[in-house]
Structure 1
């Protein structure tokens, strides 16, 4: 009975007894979830255009952040370094389209996936060669991002502490999510992206330039990666460890659906809030560490019962 009480009742009693702490946990989970959703958007962009999971999106987050900080360390002013980093991500998009995607048109999806894995290790080696392997501090104040925190009283003496950088991260991420949703659904290029994802040959037959679309979508994914690198780097450091955090987008995509922007948002919030609550209230029962594996357990359950995700399309093939 004591075990059942500890699992099924005591965590909820703690939430009720300390509502201010529970709200703090919810806020931390919300911010993490929004950033997970932002990472997942980069994967959604590539998947919509090529039908393949872009394994390199995680290292693109790291590479973009390191480029920004590295340029500033060389004496480049912060905003000029930001513009130059955007240019670097544009060159990366053109290079990927020309030397990776273009030779693999109409190849099996597994070939495209393997090419993104190869790109991952290329960027790791190139990034370490140029910037070194040591963690770097994000240039938060130089970019005009807010610092400090604000405390709000909750109930009788309780406090909810909001870090200003977390508020900025949530707002910027939500703005980018909304902009990408409009881009996909309301613009000609967005419709062309969906057409390319459905059938490369059919898209080519109606005059859609496959090479142009792929360059655009990889550049957009690079901008998402840069934004994510800045936000995550501002909350911690810019290092190659961020690649592991970026792979949390995989369970987010499984929950929301690989082609759905709303799914990326909902999936990110479920994962972000779920792992924070699990770590704080149920983590002590298993010695901690829930935050590192809970997302993948949730994804496994979804794969068993709803493999297309909450917002994904069920694909039925006649055999």
Structure 2
């Protein structure tokens, strides 16, 4: 992200061009914009020079946006909490086409020898730049793509199970995708979307239509949505509401392990904070194990107990979240922190506010 912003600045300077920057990331706005317009409900509620608007916002909505950054820290996980998912030396290599007259096969090493462990009630944050292998690692743990290396779910090996044997476990391992606009079928009602997993795993068997609607209503209510929304369609909801629907679709199956793949990146700051609070509440209530994949380190800091920093398919740094954020040990991690938190780097490569 920092590299793209620098490129835009360079092009603007060289070409003398005007730029209209549309974003929900207030950090980017403050860094890039000369003038800011704040919109809600299709109207501009406040506008002005960047420094003046950030230093002294006049409108309540603007102040709400400024204060909406995800806050809090994850709950402590007991040392004796059971391990839900673990993988050792996981590798996902994609073969490339052989070069002409070459006998050697080249590989894209999307995940190259990574070991992970997530306990009940714990959140493992996976961070790194785009293309570092974060999502591929999550898909490998869910057995949605082929990988090498042992993977254990609740102590039982699952890396060598075929699709039929894995089917029984699918409902216990769920995923919430990044894009709330693309992950929900526009042809299905909200009730059908949330209930689809129940049908796939045959948990609707011998249940009446009224009983199924009650189950879906409970799932919607748990994520803060009106149970009467079952008969409406995705286009009738905002991005934050759609992501709540996606979370309900996962939660209705009562999973123990959930991969959250950039679940807040498409949302504005105020909605991000609400989704973070919701995820934290669900985790506390159901003792869920989360793998939280994100490039937004502010959100990761609010949720994660432990963090893995990835680059080019490998672990650059790993450890307790507090230590990773307060005392990063590698230049790459320090660079990520500086880009995410608008920090300055001192001469000795330490990071300061």
TMscore range, shorter length = under 0.3
Normalised to the residue count of structure 2, the TM-score between the two structures is 0.22
TM-score scaled to structure 1, two decimals?
A: 0.24
Query: Larger strand proportion, structure 1 or 2?
Result: 2
